[in-house]
Amino acid sequence: MFSVSVAVYHKTEDIAISEKVATTIMVLMEKEAPRYKAKLKLLAKESTHKLVQNPYITYYRTAENLLELSKLLDKPIKIRDSERSPSVEPIVDDLQEYFIFWDKRNDVYRSAFLMYLASFEGFLNILYELYTRTDLRSSRLFERISREQVDVKLRMAPVYCDGFKVRIIDHEDKRFKNFLRLVNLRNDYVHANLVKTHERYIIEEDDFTFIVENEEPGETPTDINQLDLSHIELAKLYIDELVDMVIESLDPKTKREFKNFIFNEEIEVESFEGYLIPK
């Protein structure tokens, strides 16, 4: 699917001759290929059968890999000695390297947190791509719906899409409320909004200088610099619960169909009378 190989052997087992023949074949193929590009583009444009990359899985797996890396970085870091015994902890050579290594884990936390949130947006985008009602698929309407805020798209999915057994997604559900808190944090993080926890107060007392932090009111910090491993795991839990909530809201036939492909890297679909039919 991703590559083609041609194995060339010569009866004398002379590698140089085989390489020469292989190079000649490659040059001929590269020379002839451009002649068919226009035809290929036309065939692709007219095709009703295609593979759609699943952004939900792309972002979710990225988040999962970053989470695993976060767990590794969260372990105690040992400074190498001449007679160290085998250890599963990360090993560094000196104190300076230790602090460089330790500091990088915060970048991983931030990236993993945002990837989990992006994965759910990918999940919704696939849902809308495949199940938006035919009468709403005109370019202007569909574009307007696509640009809705993620929490609005989630609540309105049963209105805009076929296949739901509920009239609207319940915003009173605990899983929805948990997600909404993450969305609000995500907006502050992505837009680099200034929040109260970005402020620290300098207090002079008895000829000493003290730095007083703003307290965090919630379970997840509003300051992206304060994210740690527990917050990443919490984001994963909330996203997983929300995906389950949406799937639970589908009617039995759609639920069975949806679960057959939503966890695949690519989704095979066929266009029929304005619908994209998963295969």
Q: Is the pLDDT of residue 234 over 70?
A: yes
Strand segments, DSSP code E, in 13-65 are 49-53
Q: Is 124 exposed, middle or buried (0-12, 13-18, 19+ CB in 10 A)?
A: buried
Same domain, 146 and 244: yes
277 phi and psi, to 5 degrees? -100, 115
Average pLDDT, the chain: 82
Asked if 209 and 256 sit in the same domain, the reply is yes
Are 121 and 34 within one domain? no
Higher pLDDT, residue 81 or 212:
212
Total length of the chain: 279
Domain count, the chain: 2
37 and 82 share one domain: no
Residue 88's pLDDT band, with cuts at 50, 70 and 90, is very low
Q: What is the per-residue pLDDT for 193?
A: 56
The answer to whether residues 128 and 114 belong to one domain is yes
Name the percent of the chain lying above pLDDT 70: 80
User: N- to C-terminal Cα distance for the chain?
Assistant: 18
Tell me the per-residue pLDDT of 41-70, one tens digit each, with 9 for 90 and over. Answer: 888 888 888 888 899 999 999 999 998 888
User: CA 176 → CA 27, 144, 213, 217, 220, distances in Å?
Assistant: 57, 23, 30, 20, 16
Can you tell me the mean pLDDT for 71-100? 59
Q: SS3 string of 197-258?
A: HHCEEEEEECCEEEEEECCCCCCCCCCHHHCCHHHHHHHHHHHHHHHHHHHHCECHHHHHHH
| Domain assignment of residue 6, given as a range | 1-47
Compute the average pLDDT of residues 13-17.
79
Q: Which pLDDT score is estimated for 89?
A: 53
The answer to whether residues 185 and 111 belong to one domain is: yes
Highest-confidence range of 77-91, 142-156, 200-214, by mean pLDDT? 142-156
* Three-state secondary-structure class, residue 82: coil
pLDDT above 70 for 240: yes
Same domain, 10 and 134: no
Q: How confident is the model at residue 9 (pLDDT cuts 50, 70, 90)?
A: confident
- For residues 155-160, give the mean pLDDT: 94
Q: Is 100 found in the same domain as 18?
A: no
Chain Cα centroid distance, residue 24: 42
**Residue with more model confidence, 249 or 104:** 249
Angle between the 139-146 and 95-131 helix axes, to the nearest 10 degrees? 150
Residues 201 and 274 in one domain: yes
List the structure tokens of 261. 């492909």
Of the listed ranges 16-30, 33-47, 73-87, 255-269, the one predicted with least confidence: 73-87
**Same domain? 58 vs 103:** yes
Given a cut of 60, whether residue 80 has pLDDT beyond it is no
Domain co-membership, 174 together with 274: yes
Both 11 and 55 in a single domain? Answer: no
Q: Among the ranges 2-16, 141-155, 242-256, which has the highest mean pLDDT value? A: 242-256
